[in-house]
Amino acid sequence: MPRPRSSSARYEGGAADRPLRLATVLIVSMALLVGAAGCGGEGVSEGATVTVYISAPLHGAQAAAGKAMCAAARRELARDGGRTAGLRVRAVCLDDTGGRRSWSLAAVGANARRAAEDSTTVGYIGELDPTATRFSRSIVESAGIAQISTLSGRAAMATILRAIGGAGDSVSLRESVREELSRR
């Protein structure tokens, strides 16, 4: 007869418990992703802050190009004082190399997830490498975020700022920006 476990006993699940744990992790992750997608800009009031994420190489062989892309996007944003359509817009540059010589799948995925989980995100600029973009696109688009892939941070930021301005008084700014950008 098996001994009853005490409340202080350490649980040591076997191989049979792994699929259940994996399913639980996947369900919780999807719920968080769906929740983040639903929040994107809902009820944004005048003066609120929205975010545009930029994923670029900040280390390695393409670091100069990645840093230039981030700097150009920030300069474009600064032209109007970091504001458009009554909203404050902030740019967040993330390293898609994870400190390595070129982009890494882990860093690209982490950047896209960070943007997807941020309820203030209205746009995502990235990455310089088209293969890296394929990986991030599925994450940010499943959260309802528009993604622009470009070598010009200035042009990408200008496009997103015009889309924010064209969104008007929409219920979901994230959705309106995505729709506005899909027309281009």
pLDDT per residue over 133-168, tens digit each? 999 999 999 999 999 987 789 999 999 999 998 887
What is the token pair recorded at 71?
Answer: 């700097």
Q: Tell which residue, 91, 84, 89, 51, has the closest CA to residue 168.
A: 84
Q: Name the helix (H) or strand (E) containing 76.
A: helix 63-79
Task: State the Cα–Cα distance between residues 81 and 83, nearest whole angstrom.
Answer: 5
Q: Per DSSP, what are the bridge partners of residue 125?
A: 54, 148
Task: Confirm or reject CATH 1.10.10.10 for domain 49-182, answering yes or no.
Answer: no
pLDDT in tens, 3-30: 554 444 443 445 555 554 444 444 444 4
Residues near 32 by Cβ (< 8 Å), separated by ≥ 6?
117
pTM score, whole prediction: 0.74
Q: Does residue 138 contact residue 173 with C-beta atoms inside 8 Å?
A: no
Domain ranges of the chain: 49-182
What tens digit of pLDDT does each residue of 32-88 get? 443 433 334 345 777 889 999 999 999 999 999 999 999 999 999 999 899 998 899
Compute the distance between CA of residue 5 and CA of residue 183 in angstroms, rounded to an integer.
61
- Strand locations in 57-144 (E): 83-84, 87-95, 121-126
